[in-house]
C-alpha cells in the first residue's frame, strides 16, 4: 500500500557541505516541497551545475544529471522537451547560473520552458575557494579581488523580470518553511520558475551571515499591500530593493514552450513510436494519392 | 640571485610579469587558481590589468582584443571552452600565452594531475587547420623559464603558445631563480595602435574567397615549418641504451627515476624528454629509435603522445605504451617494471 511521501524519501548520499552552509536548507526545502506535492522520486529529474551547490544531485534522491559548469538550463530544456512526464528541476550556484550560464537563463525565460530553477546564491565561487562571483557586492575583498571587487553585481531578479519571467521568487536559507512554499509553487507553475535563494557561505563570506540577512530582509509574503500578480509592484520591488526582499515576487499565467510547440504531444519521446504504424502509413498514402 | 621556494602556478605568473605581461584574463578553475590569484595581487602593482571574466569563453576573447603581452590560464574544461577563441587568434595571427594545468577528464573528471589534453593542445587550435606551439615543462624552474620563451615565441610567430602542465606541476613547490624583467616591443602589427600611412588594421580571420583562405593557410603552414627550428628536447643516459623511455612533463620526472633504477639493475635504459610538444621532436625520436632496441612511452593518459612517437619511429623499433589516467599517477616502480618487461622482450627476440 502506498504511504504519504516525506522528505526522507528524497534522501541521497550524506551531504558534505561545510558546517553552516546555506545549501543544507535548500536541499531540505526541495525534499519537503516534492513530498508536499506527492511527486515520487521517479517522476523528478534534478539537473545540477558545477560548484559546491551542484553536489545537490548526489544528496537528493531522484533521477539526476550532474552537468557541466553553467549549462544546467539547456540540458534541463532538452529533458523537458523529450521526457515530458518528468518534473524538471535545475539547481546550481550563482556563478554557474548568473556568470558562465547567464545567457541560457535569459533564453529559458524567453521560451518559458516548463521547469523550475533553484539558484543557491552565496555571492562567492565557493567550490574554487572564494573568488568573486557575479553577485559579489562591489568592494568585497576576495582572492581574485584583493583590492575589493570593482564590478557592480548582477541583479538576477531584475534581469529575470525584464526578460519576461512568469514565476519569480527569492528565499533565504534561514527560512525553510517559506522556501518549501516557494519551491513547491515553482514546480506547480506551468512555465519557467526561478527561485533565487540567498544561501550563506560561512567559509568564504564572513559578511553575509544568517544574522546579516535577517537584519535586512523584508518578507513580501507578509506585506498586506503586496500583490505578486502585479507586474508594476514587482518591478518596483526589484528595482528599489531586490537583494533585500524574500517571498513570491511575481507570478503570471505561464505560456509553457511545450504547449506552444506545433503538434506537441505530452507523452515522452523516449517511449514513443515516432514512425507511423503500417495502418496509419497506408491511410496517409491513400489520402495523398486519392485512391 | 637566491632561489626562492615557489609554487609552479606562481612561478609562471611571476615569470610572465617579468616577461612584460600587460593583461591577464581568466576564470577560476582548480588546479591552477593560484596563478590568477597571484596576478590579481601583483599585476596591477606593475601597471597591468587583471580581470576575472564571466567564463573562459569571455576570457579568451578578451585576450583576442588585448593587443599587448597577454596571458590566460585554465585547466581541462576551461581549455575546451577556449578552443573557438584560440582558432580565431590563430587565424588572425594574434599572439598570446595560454596555460593549461591538466586535470583528470573527460567531462568534469577530477582535479588530480593528468596529461589527457595532449591531443587538444597539439593537434588543432579549435576548428580549422591551425596549431598552437606547445611547451611542456617538468619542473617549477623550467615552467618559469619556458614562460619567458612562450611570450617570445608567441610574438615571433604571431601565434598562441600553450604551456602544458598538470595539477602536480602547478601545485608543487621548488626553488626557483627568476629571470630579470624585460620590456617587450610595443609597436606590434596585431595591435590596433595605428598603422601610419598604411591601410587601417582590421584583425580578422575571414576570407570568403577560397583562394585567399588557402593563401592564409599556406602562410600558417609555412610558419609551422619555420617553427621546426624551435624544437627542444632533452636526452638522458641514452648513449648505450637498449630501452628508450619517452615521456614529457611530470611523467618524465617519474620516468627518470625509473631509468636510474633500471641502470642500477643493469638494464641499459635512457630517457627522451620532448620539451616542445608542437613542434614535436620527431627527428630526435627517430634518431634514438634507430639506435635503441625498443621504445617505451609513458604518459598520464590512455595514450596520446605515443601516436607522435610511433609516427616518428616509423616502424624502426617496437613502441610500447604504459599509461595511468583519471588522476592516477604512475610510480617509479611501475615504470621500472615496464622497462624491465620491454628489455626482456628484446632480449628474448
Ligand atoms: C568550464 C569550467 N570552468 C571552471 C570550472 C571550475 N569551477 C568549478 S565550480 C566553479 C564556480 C562555483 O561557484 P558557484 O557557481 O557560485 O557555486 P558554489 O560553489 O559557490 O556553490 C568553478 C569556476 C569548471 N568546473 N568548469
| Segment A24-63, tens digit of pLDDT | 999 999 999 999 999 999 999 999 999 999 999 999 999 9
Structural domain contains residue A267: no
Structural domain contains residue A223: yes
CATH of the domain at A65: 3.40.50.970
Q: Is B136 in a helix, a strand, or coil?
A: coil
CA-B29 nearest atom, ligand 1: 6
Ligand 1 centre and the CA of A288: distance in Å?
55
Residues B274, B46: Cα–Cα separation, whole Å:
34
- Sequence-distant (6+) residues with CB within 8 A of B80 are B120
pLDDT confidence bin for A243, thresholds 50/70/90 = confident
The enclosing H or E element of B331 equals none
In chain B, where are the structural domains located?
4-229, 233-348
Question: Does residue B72 register a pLDDT over 80?
Answer: yes
Beginning with the edge strand found earlier in the chain, give each strand of the sheet holding A167-172 in spatial order: A63-66, A44-48, A87-93, A116-121, A193-198, A167-172, A245-251, A218-219
A176 interfacial to chain B (CB closer than 8 Å): no
Structural domain contains residue A1: no
Structural domain contains residue A58: yes
The three grid cell numbers given for residue B23, joined into one nine-digit string: 593583461
**Using a 6 Å cutoff on CB, does residue A69 contact ligand 1?**
yes
Chain A hits for B30, Cβ within 8 Å: 128-129
Question: Does residue B258 register a pLDDT over 60?
Answer: yes
Structural domain contains residue A277: no
* pLDDT value, residue A86: 94
In eight-state DSSP terms, residue A147 is T
Structural domain contains residue A272: no
Asked whether the beta carbons of residue A131 and residue B108 sit closer than 8 angstroms, the reply is no
| Segment B181-195, tens digit of pLDDT | 999 887 788 888 777
| Segment A87-114, tens digit of pLDDT | 999 999 999 999 999 999 999 999 999 9
Structural domain contains residue A281: no
Question: Does residue A189 register a pLDDT over 80?
Answer: yes
Asked whether the beta carbons of residue A99 and residue B55 sit closer than 8 angstroms, the reply is yes
> Of A2, A11, A55, A13, whose CA–CA distance to A30 is shortest?
A11
Ligand 1 centre and the CA of A70: distance in Å?
8
Asked whether the beta carbons of residue A143 and residue B37 sit closer than 8 angstroms, the reply is yes
> Of A94, A37, A30, whose CA–CA distance to A64 is shortest?
A30
In the predicted model, what is the mean pLDDT of residues B88-105?
A: 97
Residues A179, A172: Cα–Cα separation, whole Å:
7
Identical fold between B4-229 and B233-348:
yes
Topology at the third CATH level for domain B233-348: Rossmann fold (3.40.50)
Structural domain contains residue A65: yes
Q: Just give the CATH number of B4-229.
A: 3.40.50.970
Cβ(B309)–Cβ(B280) under 8 Å?
Answer: no
The interface pTM score, or ipTM, of the predicted complex is 0.92
Task: Quote the mean pLDDT of chain B.
Answer: 96
**Using a 6 Å cutoff on CB, does residue A135 contact ligand 1?**
no
Residue with cell 624528454: B273
Residues B253, B115: Cα–Cα separation, whole Å:
14
**Residue A147 domain boundaries:** 7-262
Asked whether the beta carbons of residue B44 and residue A131 sit closer than 8 angstroms, the reply is no
Residues A9, B315: Cα–Cα separation, whole Å:
61
Domain count, chain A: 1
Amino acid at each position: 500500500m502506498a504511504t504519504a511521501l516525506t522528505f526522507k524519501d528524497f534522501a541521497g548520499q550524506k551531504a558534505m557541505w561545510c558546517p553552516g552552509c546555506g545549501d543544507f536548507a535548500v536541499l531540505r526545502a526541495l525534499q519537503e516541497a516534492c513530498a508536499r506535492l506527492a511527486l515520487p522520486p521517479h517522476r523528478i529529474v534534478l539537473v545540477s551545475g558545477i560548484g559546491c551547490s551542484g553536489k545537490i544531485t548526489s544528496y537528493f534522491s531522484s533521477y539526476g544529471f550532474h552537468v557541466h559548469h553553467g549549462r544546467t538550463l539547456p540540458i534541463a530544456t532538452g529533458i523537458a522537451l523529450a521526457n515530458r512526464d518528468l518534473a524538471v528541476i535545475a539547481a546550481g550556484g550563482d556563478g554557474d547560473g548568473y556568470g558562465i550560464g547567464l545567457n541560457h537563463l535569459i533564453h529559458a525565460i524567453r521560451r518559458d520552458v516548463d521547469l523550475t530553477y533553484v539558484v543557491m546564491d552565496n555571492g562567492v565561487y565557493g567550490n574554487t575557494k572564494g573568488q568573486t562571483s557575479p553577485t559579489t557586492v562591489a568592494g568585497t575583498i576576495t582572492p581574485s579581488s584583493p583590492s575589493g571587487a570593482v564590478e557592480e553585481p548582477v541583479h538576477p531578479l531584475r534581469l529575470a523580470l525584464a526578460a519576461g519571467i512568469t514565476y519569480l521568487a527569492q528565499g533565504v536559507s534561514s527560512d525553510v518553511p517559506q522556501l518549501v512554499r516557494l519551491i513547491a509553487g515553482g514546480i506547480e507553475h506551468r512555465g519557467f520558475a526561478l527561485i533565487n535563494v540567498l544561501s550563506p557561505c560561512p567559509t568564504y563570506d564572513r559578511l553575509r551571515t544568517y544574522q546579516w540577512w535577517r537584519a535586512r530582509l523584508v518578507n513580501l509574503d507578509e506585506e498586506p499591500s503586496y500583490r505578486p500578480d502585479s507586474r508594476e509592484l514587482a518591478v518596483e520591488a526589484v528595482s528599489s530593493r531586490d537583494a533585500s526582499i524574500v517571498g513570491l515576487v511575481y507570478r503570471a499565467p505561464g505560456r509553457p514552450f511545450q504547449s506552444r510547440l506545433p503538434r506537441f504531444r505530452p507523452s515522452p519521446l523516449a517511449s514513443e513510436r515516432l514512425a507511423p504504424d503500417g495502418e496509419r502509413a497506408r491511410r496517409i498514402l491513400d489520402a495523398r494519392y486519392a485512391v | 640571485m637566491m632561489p626562492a621556494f615557489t609554487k609552479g602556478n606562481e612561478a609562471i605568473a611571476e615569470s610572465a610579469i617579468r616577461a612584460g605581461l600587460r593583461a591577464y584574463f581568466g576564470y577560476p578553475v582548480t588546479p591552477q587558481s593560484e596563478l590568477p590569484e597571484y596576478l590579481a595581487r601583483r599585476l596591477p602593482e606593475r601597471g597591468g590589468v587583471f580581470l576575472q571574466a564571466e567564463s573562459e569563453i569571455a576570457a579568451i576573447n578578451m585576450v583576442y582584443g588585448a593587443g599587448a603581452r597577454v596571458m590566460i590560464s585554465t585547466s581541462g574544461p576551461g581549455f575546451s571552452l577556449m578552443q573557438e577563441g584560440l582558432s580565431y587568434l590563430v587565424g588572425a595571427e594574434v599572439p598570446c600565452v595560454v596555460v593549461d594545468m591538466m586535470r583528470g577528464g573527460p567531462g568534469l573528471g577530477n582535479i588530480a594531475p593528468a596529461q589527457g589534453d595532449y591531443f587538444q593542445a597539439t593537434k588543432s587550435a579549435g576548428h580549422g587547420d591551425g596549431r598552437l606551439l606547445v611547451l611542456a615543462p617538468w619542473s617549477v624552474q623550467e615552467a618559469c623559464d619556458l614562460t619567458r620563451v612562450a611570450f617570445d615565441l608567441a610574438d615571433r610567430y604571431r601565434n598562441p603558445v600553450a604551456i602544458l602542465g598538470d595539477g602536480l606541476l602547478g601545485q608543487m613547490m621548488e626553488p626557483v631563480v627568476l629571470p630579470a624583467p624585460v620590456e617587450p616591443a610595443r609597436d606590434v602589427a596585431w595591435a590596433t595602435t595605428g598603422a601610419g600611412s598604411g591601410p587601417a588594421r582590421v584583425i580578422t580571420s575571414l576570407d570568403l574567397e577560397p583562394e585567399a583562405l588557402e593563401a592564409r593557410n599556406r602562410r600558417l603552414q609555412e610558419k609551422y615549418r619555420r617553427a621546426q627550428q624551435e624544437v627542444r628536447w632533452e636526452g638522458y643516459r641514452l648513449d648505450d641504451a637498449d630501452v628508450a623511455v619517452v615521456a614529457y612533463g611530470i611523467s618524465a620526472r617519474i620516468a627518470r627515476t625509473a631509468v636510474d633504477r633500471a641502470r642500477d639493475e643493469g638494464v641499459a635504459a635512457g630517457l627522451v624528454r620532448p620539451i616542445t610538444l608542437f613542434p614535436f621532436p620527431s627527428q630526435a625520436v627517430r634518431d634514438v629509435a634507430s639506435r635503441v632496441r625498443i621504445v617505451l612511452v609513458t604518459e598520464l593518459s590512455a595514450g596520446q603522445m605515443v601516436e607522435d612517437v610511433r609516427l616518428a619511429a616509423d616502424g624502426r623499433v617496437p613502441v610500447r605504451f604504459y599509461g595511468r589516467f583519471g588522476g592516477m599517477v604512475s610510480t617509479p616502480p611501475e615504470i621500472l617494471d615496464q622497462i624491465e618487461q620491454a628489455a626482456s622482450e628484446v632480449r628474448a627476440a
